[in-house]
Amino acid sequence: MGMQGQGEGRPELARARRRMGMSQDAIAEALWVSPTTWSRWERGRQEIRPVYRARMAEVFGVDPIEVERWVEGGEPVDTEAWLCPDFSDLSLAATVEAAGRLWRCDVDPDRRHMLAALPFVPATLASWLSAWSYGAPVASAARQGSGPAVGLSDVQRIVEARQAFGQMDHQFGAGLVRPAVVDYLNTVVAPLLRGRYNDKVGAELMTAAAAMTQMAGWTAFDLDHHGLAQQYFGQALRLAKSGDDSLTGAWVLANMANQALHLNQPAQAVWLTRAAMDSARRVQAPPRVLAMLLVKEAWATAMQSRPDKTHDTHSTHGVERLLTEAERMHARGKTDRDPVWAAAWIDESELIAQMGMCWDLLGDHRRAAGCAESAVREFATKRPRSAQLNRVNAAEAYLGMGEVEQAVESARPAIPMARSLTSVRSVERIRKFSDRLEPYAETIQVKEFRAYLNSQLAS
């Protein structure tokens, strides 16, 4: 395979990088080459060996034949099926077009499977955070589009729909609700974004669209489609930027941090939680919102430093300070400035559950178990998935204390709960707990637990 002419370069390769929101340095790091090498590849000045072409397909989440087209030339490549939010153009028009394109692809059966297979790309987060924090806000959220006239009543319907979808997600898991969320974005929200609205309505519309887009990202996360979830979170962040809504942006960043923690990317989670906190403080966020962000930062900091293993007292004290401040903030109670999307996110049960995760990482397993069991009692009827996950949290805390029998007893009810939910994350958590039981594999309790797990989740 020969190189393209020096004057031609490889424009599709450059376009692929930009659509991922990545600088030349970032993509070079992801591919394990120097920025100079990537620059030569992009300009058509250097051959690209097969091993790196294969790596490109993995990083960009596309079929290898697409990479060959970028490298060797040919027909323009349709990158809609894998594009990540592009923060290089923060104009309202570009944001509306990008959102509509993502939703359109996600309802297209021929493209949906490609989106679901996308990889999570940590390298994109730095450029997104930079654009969120330092990018110039849009001058106005008003639009004179070709679509319908949009009023605040239209925005309120989006808000109410998101609340209904959120309750369904908590009750049944993402598998049931996600198709409806994406269809709603494509058939209801997209036409409104292309419509006509003044600055006040436009700002509210962008916030509502960001919250619904975040919902679609969260459901993708719950189904273990992490590259797709990352795209939706990025698009939600961009919509919040267009609405000049730092509070909603902080919420999206916190959910991105949650994904990073799930994927064992604590350094990225720390960046995201601190950016979320900066955004929230900039607009004097309500105390209960600040409380949840403080707990997220404590969780990310504890996972990064792992005081339970390193016995680092400095890190322990730092996490404890964050948790103390979170409790103090939450105790200040509700305000009339609490955002509508925050009702479930900032309640006391959720705060206690996440504090339990922090205590477990600090090595205080008994306190962690108490937090998890308290959360289970509160979540039992209104949020079955949260109850199931916290049963596993309690079981892991007991295992940390060496109380294997109690750990297995706590985890056992989580198995039929996981089976009843359309949540890949719920199943994954109980299976990971089972893996942690390997040192006790020959005990009767563990053998019986694993046999029950396999029989219940065989399908």
CATH number at residue 38: 1.10.260.40
pLDDT on residue 77:
44
In tens, the pLDDT along 272-314 reads: 999 999 999 999 999 999 999 999 999 999 999 998 888 889 9
Q: Which has more pLDDT, 112 or 93?
A: 93
Same domain, 173 and 49: no
Same domain, 100 and 230: yes
pLDDT on residue 75:
55
- Whether the per-residue pLDDT at 80 is higher than 60: the answer is no
Q: Report yes or no: 405 and 438 within 8 Å, Cβ to Cβ.
A: no
Pick the last residue of a domain from 222, 242, 262. Answer: 242
Q: Please indicate, yes or no, if residue 251 is contained in any of the structural domains.
A: no
In tens, the pLDDT along 242-273 reads: 999 999 999 999 999 999 999 999 999 999 99
Cross-strand partners of 197? 143
Same domain, 60 and 161: no
Pick the last residue of a domain from 29, 55, 77. Answer: 77
Pick the last residue of a domain from 242, 265, 288. Answer: 242
- Sign of torsion over alpha carbons 83, 84, 89, 91: positive
What percent of the chain has a predicted confidence (pLDDT) above 90?
66
Same domain, 92 and 230: yes
Same domain, 103 and 222: yes
- Taking the C-alpha atoms of residue 226 and residue 117, their distance in angstroms, rounded to an integer, is 8
As for how many domains the chain has, the answer is 2
Same domain, 102 and 43: no
Q: Which has more pLDDT, 118 or 386?
A: 386
For 257-264, the CB contacts below 8 A with 24+ separation are: 257/296, 257/300, 258/221, 258/296, 259/120, 259/221, 259/226, 259/229, 259/230, 259/233, 260/122, 260/125, 260/300, 261/299, 261/300, 261/303, 262/221, 262/425, 263/120, 263/226, 264/303
pLDDT on residue 113:
75
Q: Which of 92-96, 332-336, 343-347, 446-450 is most confident?
A: 446-450
Nearest alpha carbon to residue 428 among 233, 182, 229, 173: 173
Place 81 in a pLDDT band, splitting at 50, 70 and 90: very low
Specify the 3-state DSSP secondary structure of 149. strand
Q: Please indicate, yes or no, if residue 396 is contained in any of the structural domains.
A: no
pLDDT on residue 85:
62
- Whether the per-residue pLDDT at 96 is higher than 90: the answer is yes
Least confident of 46-55, 384-393, 433-442: 46-55
Specify the 3-state DSSP secondary structure of 5. coil
Q: Please indicate, yes or no, if residue 416 is contained in any of the structural domains.
A: no
Q: Please indicate, yes or no, if residue 430 is contained in any of the structural domains.
A: no
The pair of structure tokens assigned to 312 is: 């680092």
Least confident of 77-86, 202-211, 334-343, 418-427: 77-86
Same domain, 153 and 215: yes
Phi, psi of 383 (to 5 degrees): -145, 80
Place 209 in a pLDDT band, splitting at 50, 70 and 90: very high
Q: Please indicate, yes or no, if residue 171 is contained in any of the structural domains.
A: yes
Place 432 in a pLDDT band, splitting at 50, 70 and 90: very high
Same domain, 111 and 44: no
Same domain, 166 and 37: no
Residue whose tokens read 């960009």: 60
> For 241-269, b where at least 16 C-beta lie within 10 A, e where not — what string?
bbbbbbbbbbbbbbbbbbbbbbeebbebb
Same domain, 102 and 61: no
Place 84 in a pLDDT band, splitting at 50, 70 and 90: low
Across 123-129, average pLDDT? 85
In tens, the pLDDT along 328-342 reads: 999 998 888 888 877
- Taking the C-alpha atoms of residue 254 and residue 297, their distance in angstroms, rounded to an integer, is 9
Same domain, 117 and 18: no
In tens, the pLDDT along 1-58 reads: 444 444 468 888 888 888 777 888 888 888 888 889 999 999 988 999 887 888 888 8
* Residue range(s) defining the domain that contains residue 92: 87-135+147-242
First CA to last CA across the chain, in angstroms?
Answer: 46
pTM, full prediction: 0.83
- Taking the C-alpha atoms of residue 177 and residue 166, their distance in angstroms, rounded to an integer, is 9
In tens, the pLDDT along 148-157 reads: 999 999 999 9
In this structure, what DSSP letter does residue 349 have? H
- Taking the C-alpha atoms of residue 374 and residue 149, their distance in angstroms, rounded to an integer, is 48
The pair of structure tokens assigned to 190 is: 């997209």
Across 66-77, average pLDDT? 73
pLDDT on residue 6:
42
Q: Please indicate, yes or no, if residue 112 is contained in any of the structural domains.
A: yes
Same domain, 92 and 200: yes
- Whether the per-residue pLDDT at 459 is higher than 70: the answer is no
Q: Please indicate, yes or no, if residue 294 is contained in any of the structural domains.
A: no
